[in-house]
Chain A
């Protein structure tokens, strides 16, 4: 192994401009066991041995590092008042977004709620588009009209981005229905949080999904706090994966990217054959609920730093890479530096991009804007004849 590394180093020496190492494209399958077993409800859990490859694990590291940097950049942009309104950050939960993408295709649909920046990135969204949307610029993924809670990417089957807690669950089951209707073998991942798990519409939608055998996978991102309310204070039964009752469920360590990948692959196969399944991802968010929440009034700082030390998803992958000799400490640090630069460049580019024009206020109200007159709030100003 050392010899190969020596020869590889010389390769990089010969091509100093190339930052790609031989090992990053190594796709020979390796099997790694997840740290914890899966707990299941009404089904057989998948095996703990996950098939992956060096290249894949390295890509996990890079993607998660990028997501983490994006969220931290968003934090500082918010504090410098370039991002306004609500900003819900996903750092700590990156393993979920990245692991899910590894287990599915871009034809499978994902829908989530307002904590959607990283999910958007995972679906192939560009950093520039994300930052532009956060800062309300034209370049943004929703032309600046959606904001933090309304990221969408139609070509990658990412359906958003929803502000009302739980309302995306029926939408997600509708996506699954459309997939069943079109007879393509795709599934829908419907993400919601432990707070939304108490919404009635979840159970309504789950009932229909189970009744009609829809390929819907409901994923509860259990970060243990619904804004300021801990799960033990909001749910009589905090075993969210069992709440489906007649619907099978699986509890997954959401901070272990390989476990998430395995669970999503398993869920996709299951849903295509047997209908809906619930995945409960045990995860954690380091920031508060949103930027206006310090995150320390309902939990101790020790708890947060404890999770960061023991369960941080990026650190776990780093340890995995180092212990399996897939990369060196320096290479990973370089990768993080690259990612940091990527994010900084994107922020700079987004800051340059223009704000939407006044006429954009009335576009995309109706399709083909069917000859309607659109009025301003007091019906006197800014009347536009829509083309």
Chain B
């Protein structure tokens, strides 16, 4: 491990990213995985329903996929796989990991006999029993703490927050115990928990059930955060998160649970720290994650018709950022638009803007623009709720503005 003490200057920082060490590391940083895993580099177009199968061959993410149009119909006859919805993909990933490792257990409200409030844990209680799929009472602080305590001894709990917003009650446990115990114990204890749950703005769920907790958790040292957006990366990230020795918070989105996609039959895992190239392009880099990916792809359709060529990257890894993929993209396009669902203040976009400005300032032709939700509690009224989140039309306008 080399300590590089820098003064100011992005140029020196870039050399770190060009180092071969980093290239190798992001591919194979999890031993044993690369042999079996099919690293998702994303060839799907991100539209809401897929008839296509995702790439089955190992692709290098630099290779440009010929982009004729945005919505490509990929030939399904040659490839195998099975089609399922995103929540089923999560369930499949969870079930496979529970089969594989008897230390994995699930705890949360109504995850067992009820089957999970979003059906992610449906059928698991019947299969694995009450000791491995635990219905907890409503006490987020306590059961998150219990999951962390169990993880200290070697169990691998998957803690479900019925809605991510409820995990605010467990913030102390997540911040102080989950994030910090590995460090303060000098490496004695590892906390291999997965904390997952749906968050984000739904359909008129009200202010308290429409929270984006990734902005609150992003400062906690010691945790990793990932956000899934397609059935393919949902299953892959769930498996990777469970196998990781670090505490991982997996952000799902309430509105994405019914996305349908064909995913491979064979086992695969997605890389936790890698961003997904959704649509390569030349003119502008659009960074997004979770539900906003779909708004961006809708906007991309319009933009392509207007003659622009946006490069869309689903950053997936919210902590740490995959600055390697992002950096290469910025070097290519020189313009960045960040589209996120977090609030303007202190969101993921704010941190990403800072990171990009700091590291890739020389490569930017225009200031980094960040489209986020408004700094208001999410209102109930449908029209108002629409105005709090970023809509495709705003994305189109922003791109046109940046590309002038």
Contact = CB atoms under 8 A, between A and B. Distances in A.
Q: Do they bind each other?
A: yes
Q: Categorize the interface residue count of chain A.
A: 35 or more
Given A363-B187, A366-B224, A367-B190, A372 B146 contact: no
Nearest to B2: A385
Nearest to B105: A181
A134 to B, nearest CB: 14
B153 interface: yes
Interface in B126-152: 131, 134, 136-137, 139, 141-152
A200 B187 contact: no
Nearest to B190: A367
Interface in A179-202: 179-182, 200-201
Contacts of B58: none
A171 interface: yes
Interface in B142-178: 142-155, 172-173, 176-177
Contacts of B36: none
A145 B22 CA distance: 27
B22 A385 contact: yes
B386 interface: no
B30 to A, nearest CB: 7
A180 B131 CA distance: 9
B152 A140 contact: no
Interface in A324-360: 358-359
Contacts of A154: 185, 188-189
B346 to A, nearest CB: 15
A177 B146 contact: yes
Contacts of B221: 365
A369 B1 contact: yes
Contacts of B2: 384-385
B272 to A, nearest CB: 8
Contact of B8 (A170, A201, A380): A380
Nearest to A173: B146
B64 interface: no
A369 to B, nearest CB: 7
Contacts of A170: 141-146, 148-149, 173
Interface in B174-202: 176-177, 181-190
Contact of A372 (B3, B139, B144, B273): B273
B80 interface: no
Contacts of A205: 139, 142, 145-146
A177 B19 CA distance: 45
A385 B149 contact: no
Contacts of A30: none
Contact of A150 (B8, B185, B358): B185
A78 to B, nearest CB: 20
Contact of B183 (A161, A364, A382): A364
Contact of B177 (A167, A369, A380): A167
Contacts of B173: 167, 170-171
B149 A211 contact: no
A160 B150 contact: no
Contacts of B151: 174
A386 B142 CA distance: 33
Q: Categorize the interface residue count of chain B.
A: 35 or more
Contacts of A207: 137, 139, 142
B374 interface: no
A286 interface: no
Of the candidates B137, B177, B185, B323, the one having the most CB atoms from chain A within 10 angstroms of its own CB is B185
B178 to A, nearest CB: 10
A137 to B, nearest CB: 12
B185 A142 contact: yes
A145 B8 contact: no
A175 B134 contact: no
A359 B5 CA distance: 11
A236 interface: no
B29 A370 contact: yes
Given A170-B142, A366-B224, A175 B183 contact: no
B6 A171 contact: no
Of the candidates B30, B142, B358, the one having the most CB atoms from chain A within 10 angstroms of its own CB is B142
B145 A385 contact: no
A382 B3 contact: yes
Contacts of B148: 170-171, 174
B320 interface: yes
A141 B149 contact: no
Given A175-B153, A372-B273, A366 B145 contact: no
Of the candidates B136, B137, B183, B222, the one having the most CB atoms from chain A within 10 angstroms of its own CB is B183
Given A167-B172, A358-B3, A383-B13, A159 B149 contact: yes
B16 A373 contact: yes
B25 interface: yes
Given A367-B246, A371-B29, A142 B150 contact: no
A365 B22 contact: no
Of the candidates A179, A211, A372, the one having the most CB atoms from chain B within 10 angstroms of its own CB is A372
B89 to A, nearest CB: 24
Contacts of A160: 181, 185
B7 interface: yes
Given A111-B149, A140-B186, A167-B145, 19 more contacts: A150-B185, A152-B184, A152-B185, A152-B189, A170-B143, A170-B145, A170-B173, A174-B146, A175-B150, A178-B149, A178-B154, A181-B155, A359-B1, A365-B182, A370-B29, A373-B16, A384-B1, A385-B1, A385-B2
Interface of A: 109, 111, 140-147, 150, 152-154, 159-164, 167, 169-175, 177-182, 200-201, 204-205, 207-208, 211-212, 358-359, 362-373, 379-387
A-B pairs with the 10 shortest C-beta distances? A174-B149, A170-B145, A371-B25, A204-B142, A204-B139, A171-B149, A143-B186, A174-B146, A367-B245, A142-B186
24 contacts: A152-B185, A167-B177, A170-B143, A170-B146, A171-B177, A173-B146, A175-B150, A175-B153, A181-B105, A200-B141, A201-B145, A205-B146, A208-B143, A358-B3, A364-B186, A365-B222, A367-B244, A370-B30, A371-B29, A372-B320, A373-B320, A380-B358, A383-B13, A385-B21
